[in-house]
Amino acid sequence: MLTERQREIVKATVPLLETGGEALITHFYQTMLGEYPEVRPLFNQAHQQSGAQPRALAHSVLMYAKNIDRLENLGNLPAQIINKHVALQVQAEHYPIVGACLLRAIREVLGAEIATDEVIAAWAAAYQQLADILIAAERSVYEQTAAAEGGWRGARAFKLVQKQAESAEITSFYLEPADGGAVITHQPGQYIGLRVVVDGLEQRRNYSLSAPTNGKSYRISVKREAGGKVSNHLHDQLQVGDTLELFPPAGHFTLQAAARPLVLISGGVGITPTLPMLQAALPTGREITFIHCARDRGVHAFREKIDALASSHEQLTRRYCYDQADAGDEVDAQGLLSTERLAQWLPESRDADVYFLGPRGFMRSVKQSLRELGVPDAQVHYEFFGPAEALA
């Protein structure tokens, strides 16, 4: 049980986390991934090398410390963490490893004069409180998913039945369960975890589900990343008839029912979760604005699909913005998606629901523009492909 004294000690470390949290978390990851190989598949090494994972965890630890006595102020952060954990199948036995390495990093980075026994004991109690909350929530999700029609727990073998290039960089993979059974339905915007072995090492990744739910199969649409171990393996090695191990769908970035106008904004491969959102919203009759930004026509995936939907649904307006456009590309704008351009494309009433996803810089710009344009914060929704970093 976390005492009031321990809460005060944890909050007193906030200034240290604000200035040195990323260095502490980097040390934590080096220790854990170096000494506990069993947890390595849970972490994308590209995110480690770029610093995205340490930054994201440092932000989460800081927010937890700041709100240790007001956990309700964390907003969507716990849901983001729980869904990421569920998609990768984080288990209760992983938490003691993380806790031990975190406390060790606090001691070794801050030093014994600052990280006294009392400070370590306070952080141990704080970590255990958080671990208990997450473990209980994740256990509940695992049990509900396994009990649902078409549900399962852990890994399930799926066969690749179709592989289709969608652009110069993005390929879709159509997957059906090898056992021939049903699959649990997913919400528009959710993603799925997969497990593959690349060069003898287990790797786990999350990919958005890019097609509406049908109870029989799933589709993911994957961008080939330069140097990406898993994306290149899927593009180059996985062939029709091969099998993959999938974990059940997860994710809280899902389309919410409403009558307000809907705006879907994506950049690059961020288009993938907006596709099932769009297809789910069209039958409701609500006004929809679909905005997609890409480098050029060659990397713009699913354009023909969106064009066809726009031509057959009067309530759908689509806008395309390319960094580089050639004659005949039929784009609405060239260059960045500026606040001024977004102001022209949004519905006249700013009382709209906006969902957006794309590269981090793109998302930061969109979020700032939406705030400047008066879209209510509570009606702005976004998700991260990788670690959940702050968009401040």
pLDDT tens-digit readout, 263-311? 999 999 999 999 999 999 999 999 999 999 999 999 999 999 999 999 9
* 211 shares a domain with 131: no
d(CA 192, CA 67): 30
Per-residue model confidence (pLDDT) at position 19: 86
Contact yes or no for 173/220 (Cβ under 8 A): yes
Choosing from 129, 147, 165, the residue where a domain stops is: 147
d(CA 358, CA 270): 4
Look at residue 189 and tell me if it is in a domain: yes
* 122 shares a domain with 243: no
Choosing from 122, 147, 172, the residue where a domain stops is: 147
Check whether 52 has a pLDDT greater than 90: no
Query: Crossing angle, helix 4-12 and helix 117-147, to 10 degrees?
Result: 100
CATH number, domain of 54, equals 1.10.490.10
| Number of other residues whose CB lies within 10 A of the CB of residue 229 | 17
- Mean pLDDT score of the chain, rounded to an integer? 92
Look at residue 256 and tell me if it is in a domain: no
- Our count of domains for the chain comes to 3
Which residue out of 64, 127, 138, 191 is catalytically annotated?
Answer: 138
Q: Quick check: is 95 catalytic?
A: yes
The alpha carbon of 213 is separated from its chain's Cα centroid by a whole number of angstroms, namely 19
One-letter amino acid at 201 equals: L
Look at residue 337 and tell me if it is in a domain: yes
d(CA 265, CA 380): 11
One-letter amino acid at 91 equals: Q
pLDDT in tens, 215-258: 999 999 999 999 899 999 999 999 999 999 999 999 999 999 99
Q: Where are the alpha helices (DSSP H) in 51-116?
A: 52-66, 77-88, 95-110
| Number of other residues whose CB lies within 10 A of the CB of residue 81 | 22
d(CA 22, CA 342): 34
Choosing from 222, 250, 278, the residue where a domain stops is: 250
- pTM of the predicted protein model: 0.91
* 378 shares a domain with 356: yes
3-state class of 3 per DSSP? coil
pLDDT in tens, 68-123: 988 888 888 888 889 999 999 999 999 999 999 999 999 999 998 999 999 999 99
Q: Quick check: is 108 catalytic?
A: no
Record the tokens describing residue 124, joined without a space: 């141990």
Who wins on pLDDT, 13 or 47?
13
Per-residue model confidence (pLDDT) at position 191: 96
- All residues at 6 or more sequence positions from 281 whose CB lies less than 8 Å from its CB, including other chains: 255, 262, 288
What average pLDDT does the segment 140-156 reach? 96
Owning domain of residue 287: 262-391
Per-residue model confidence (pLDDT) at position 76: 81
For the chain, strand residue ranges (E) read 156-165, 170-177, 191-198, 201-208, 218-223, 243-250, 262-267, 288-294, 316-322, 333-334, 353-357, 380-382
d(CA 269, CA 292): 10
Contact yes or no for 16/111 (Cβ under 8 A): no
Which residue out of 64, 95, 207, 322 is catalytically annotated?
Answer: 95
Look at residue 358 and tell me if it is in a domain: yes
Query: Crossing angle, helix 4-12 and helix 14-35, to 10 degrees?
Result: 90
Of 45-59, 286-300, 337-351, 357-371, the one with minimum mean pLDDT is 45-59
Record the tokens describing residue 295, joined without a space: 């480098």
CATH number, domain of 282, equals 3.40.50.80
